[in-house]
Amino acid sequence: MAAPIAPLPLPPLLRWQPVMAPPSLADADLHLWLLTAPDLLPAPSIADGQLLSSAERTRAAALRHPQRRACWVQARVACRRILGGYLGADPAVLRFAAGPWGKPALAGSAGRSGLAFNLSNSGNLSVLGVSAGLPLGVDCEWLRPRSLAVARRMFDAATVQALTQRTGADRWLAYHVAWTTLEARVKADGRGLSRHREPDLPGLLVGHVRAHPDVLCAVARQRLPAVSAWVGLRLAGAD
């Protein structure tokens, strides 16, 4: 009879420090920003909408559910304000371009700054990761039961076997650790889930925190600092 698998430890809960502007960002730093959350959702204002590009406003208008639309607008506006704060630039003039596989990146003079970012949305929660010069991937997922059919299709045989040997909440924590790891890895270079079996960036590392008591967040980056050194931030006055 196989020995039981030890339960996974729950990743630490990241604390979100309210700030008026982005702090300095050294090459080794990792900043995570809480953009939207269940208890952090003011209604978008007219001024907020004016910060968005015409393409962003068109996409927001296409979202029929009011709360989903509000979350999307708030996340995009906060993303622009935060990136503009790092760059000392007007958030409204920031331009974005898609990489070879569609990953968004800063364009124009802002793109030459080396500032890298990645945004993850899960329901009404959004987290932005920011890094100086090193591409990164961020993925957040609410912890809840999922179908193992997806695991069997996307994970390697050893991971699937380990999942089937776990039970209850421990199984779903293990599932989400594996899933967010996969998503963060493929978002780091932008290749997407359809190419998840291709090689990662050399030296890519993945770490986990909880962005909310029930939301797991993974970050993938080369030269990733220890989780204890990750900085959690949110814009003051967003609540």
Count Cβ atoms within 10 A of the Cβ of residue 225 and give its class: 0-12 exposed, 13-18 middle, 19 or more buried.
Answer: middle
69 lies in a domain?
yes
User: How far apart are alpha carbons 9 and 127 in whole angstroms?
Assistant: 22
Q: What is the pLDDT of residue 78?
A: 93
pTM: 0.93
Residue 38 near residue 125 (C-beta atoms within 8 A): yes
Neighbours of 125 (CB within 10 A): 24
Residue 34 near residue 122 (C-beta atoms within 8 A): no
Three-class DSSP category at 20: coil
153 lies in a domain?
yes
Q: How many domains does the chain have?
A: 1
10 lies in a domain?
no
Per-residue model confidence as pLDDT tens digits over 189-219: 999 998 999 999 999 999 999 999 999 999 9
206 lies in a domain?
yes
Count Cβ atoms within 10 A of the Cβ of residue 136 and give its class: 0-12 exposed, 13-18 middle, 19 or more buried.
Answer: buried
* Sheet arrangement for strand 136-142: 136-142, 215-222, 204-212
Per-residue model confidence as pLDDT tens digits over 75-107: 999 999 999 999 999 999 999 998 888 899 999
7 lies in a domain?
no
Please give the residue range of the domain that contains residue 191. 17-235
CATH number, residue 109: 3.90.470.20
Three-class DSSP category at 86: helix
> How does DSSP classify residue 12?
P
pLDDT at residue 50 tops 80 = no
Structure tokens at 238: 């967003």
